[in-house]
Every structure is written in structure tokens, then in C-alpha cells.
């Protein structure tokens, strides 16, 4: 295998039994002797993609749990009205994909009118695949940027250990949750945490919304009620913020269970919170972070 570069993005690649062909790279291409494997894949759109497998430096060591301050930890609630809500009272909005879904439905209707197997049908099938691809890419780009921010901003991220499939099968909000692609988000979070030396702790999700983050008393509330109000202690705050605090508290307790030789990590969280900051998903996509 060999390759010649023509600028930073365009590369000529040669493979045995295939020969030379041009590719457009989305990142710097390593030297040929550093590449261990080349994977070619044809997408439903008819386009070909090349993946280059190389060895990378070892990931940084994760900080010892005994050295992590509670202020460097965060609980993340995966929501519906917002994509995530953190225990620091940061709410990141959901992606606006209505235009993309409308285009997909239009292309699918056009496909249904074509004769199956004809040239026109194949061309329209590729248009449907491209519309699907645009949605997938927007979601993945958003998730990559958001998970990167979480693992670089905090030393420990606590999340719910969600079983997404039954939720999609039974919930009236299945489409919203499918758009959120929570399984993929959690997988990326684990992957990015290993790259950046951050701890990810998965906690039991049952009761995180019901329990009061201040006193622990559980209170049932329908989905449309967006504020937690505790009848026992009178504590009130945003429903998702309350859940995020419970997630963080469970995460801190969980990592503290195996640390008997050191001082247990503080698990008490303040009932009060900083003023809520709402971040539009567009800001994450455009800036690649949550910074201003």
C-alpha cells in the first residue's frame, strides 16, 4: 500500500489488486508505513469510504478517585425537552431536524412511485439514502462535540444505565428518544472518556426523577409536570435538574463503595443551584463546545 498527498485533503491511494485511486481525507493521512489496515466500505448512497487503521499512543491515565473533587464531577440526565440536563444546571437543547425529516418523507414518497428495480428507482433510492445520511451525520456530529466537552470539562461523569430498547417500544415519545440516539451517545461518552482519561459511572436509573435530591423522599409525577416539588421538605426545582443531581449523588456513592482505604468521597450535594443556563444545540454544532 502506498499513497501520495496533494494538499491537506486530497490523497492518491494505491492498494494491491486495486491500483491507484483518489480519496478526500477528513483529517491528516499518516505515512504509509504507519498504516496497519485499510478498510473499504460502500454506503447505501453508492459512495465509497476508506478507513485507515493505525496504532495510537496510550490514553492518559485516569485520575485516582481519591483525588477527584466533587466540583470536578457531573451528573447527566438524558431528557426529552432538552437533550441533556446536568447537575450544574446546564440544559442543552435538542437538535432541530424537522426540515431534514420532511425532506426524507418527500424522497420516500417519490421512491414509492417508481418502478422497483428500474434506473429511476435506483436513483431515487440513493436520494433517500442521502437524506437519511444527512440526519445521521448531524446527530453524530452533535454527539461527538457534546461528549468531547463533557470528558474534557469533568474528571467524572455519572449517567443512567438505560435500557433504551424497551423505552422505544412502549413510550409515546419514542421518536424523540430515537432522534436522541441515547445508546450511541453513551457509547461515545465511554469511548471519549477512555481517550481523555475521564471516569464514566453508570448508575441505576429507577427513581432518579421521583426522589427528592434534597431529602430523598420519592414523589410520583406525570411526564408533563416539569418541576419537582417535594411534599416532605418543600424543596422545588426543575425536574431534570433534580434527576441529574440524583444521578451524580448515586455515582459518587457508587465509586466510594470500593474506596475503603481512603477518605470517602463527599456525596452531599447542595440543594441550591446556579442559575439555569440553556444552550441551543446549534451553538454546540457551530462552535464545537458550550463556550461563548
Q: Is 21 helix (H, G, I), strand (E, B) or coil?
A: strand
pLDDT, tens digit (0-9, with 9 covering 90-100), for 190-243:
999 999 999 999 999 898 988 998 888 888 888 888 888 888 888 888 899 999
Domain residue ranges of the chain, discontinuous segments joined by +: 2-54, 65-287
Report yes or no: 106 and 113 within 8 Å, Cβ to Cβ: no
pLDDT, tens digit (0-9, with 9 covering 90-100), for 106-154:
999 999 999 999 999 999 999 999 999 999 999 999 999 999 999 999 9
Q: Rg for the chain (alpha carbons), in Å?
A: 23
pTM beyond 0.85, yes or no: no
176 exposure class (CB count in 10 Å sphere: 0-12, 13-18, 19+): middle
Position 261 confidence tier, pLDDT thresholds 50, 70, 90 = very low
pLDDT confidence of residue 264: 41
Helix (H) or strand (E) run with residue 149 in it? helix 119-153
pLDDT confidence of residue 219: 86
194 exposure class (CB count in 10 Å sphere: 0-12, 13-18, 19+): middle
Alpha carbon 103 to its chain's center? 24
Q: How does DSSP classify residue 72?
A: G
SS3 content of the chain, % helix, strand, coil (to 5): 40, 20, 40
Enzyme catalytic residues: 77, 160, 240
Amino acid at each position: 500500500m502506498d499513497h501520495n498527498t496533494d494538499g491537506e485533503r486530497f490523497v492518491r491511494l494505491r492498494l494491491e489488486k486495486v491500483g491507484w485511486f483518489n480519496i478526500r481525507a477528513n483529517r491528516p493521512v499518516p505515512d504509509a508505513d504507519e498504516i496497519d489496515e485499510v478498510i473499504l466500505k460502500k454506503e447505501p448512497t453508492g459512495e465509497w469510504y476508506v478507513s485507515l487503521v493505525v496504532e495510537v499512543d496510550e490514553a492518559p491515565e485516569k485520575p485516582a478517585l481519591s483525588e477527584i473533587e466533587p466540583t470536578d464531577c457531573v451528573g447527566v440526565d438524558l431528557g426529552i425537552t432538552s437533550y441533556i440536563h446536568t447537575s450544574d444546571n446546564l440544559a442543552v437543547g435538542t437538535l432541530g431536524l424537522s426540515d431534514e425529516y420532511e425532506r426524507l418523507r418527500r424522497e420516500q414518497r417519490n421512491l414509492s412511485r417508481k418502478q422497483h428495480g428500474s434506473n429511476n428507482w435506483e436513483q431515487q433510492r440513493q436520494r433517500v439514502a442521502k437524506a437519511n445520511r444527512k440526519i445521521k451525520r448531524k446527530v453524530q456530529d452533535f454527539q461527538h462535540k457534546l461528549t468531547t466537552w463533557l470528558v474534557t470539562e469533568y474528571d467524572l461523569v455519572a449517567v443512567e444505565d438505560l435500557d433504551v430498547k424497551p423505552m422505544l417500544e412502549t413510550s409515546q415519545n419514542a421518536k424523540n428518544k430515537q432522534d436522541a440516539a441515547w445508546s450511541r451517545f453513551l457509547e461515545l461518552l465511554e469511548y471519549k472518556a477512555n481517550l481523555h482519561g475521564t471516569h464514566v459511572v453508570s448508575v441505576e436509573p429507577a427513581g432518579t426523577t421521583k426522589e427528592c435530591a434534597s431529602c430523598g423522599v420519592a414523589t410520583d409525577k406525570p411526564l408533563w409536570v416539569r418541576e419537582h416539588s417535594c411534599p416532605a421538605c418543600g424543596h422545588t426545582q426543575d425536574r431534570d435538574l433534580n434527576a441529574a443531581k440524583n444521578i451524580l449523588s448515586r455515582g459518587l456513592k457508587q465509586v466510594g463503595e470500593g474506596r475503603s482505604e481512603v477518605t470517602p468521597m463527599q456525596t452531599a450535594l447542595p440543594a441550591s443551584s446556579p442559575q439555569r443556563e440553556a444552550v441551543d444545540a446549534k451553538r454546540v454544532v457551530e462552535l464545537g463546545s458550550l463556550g461563548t
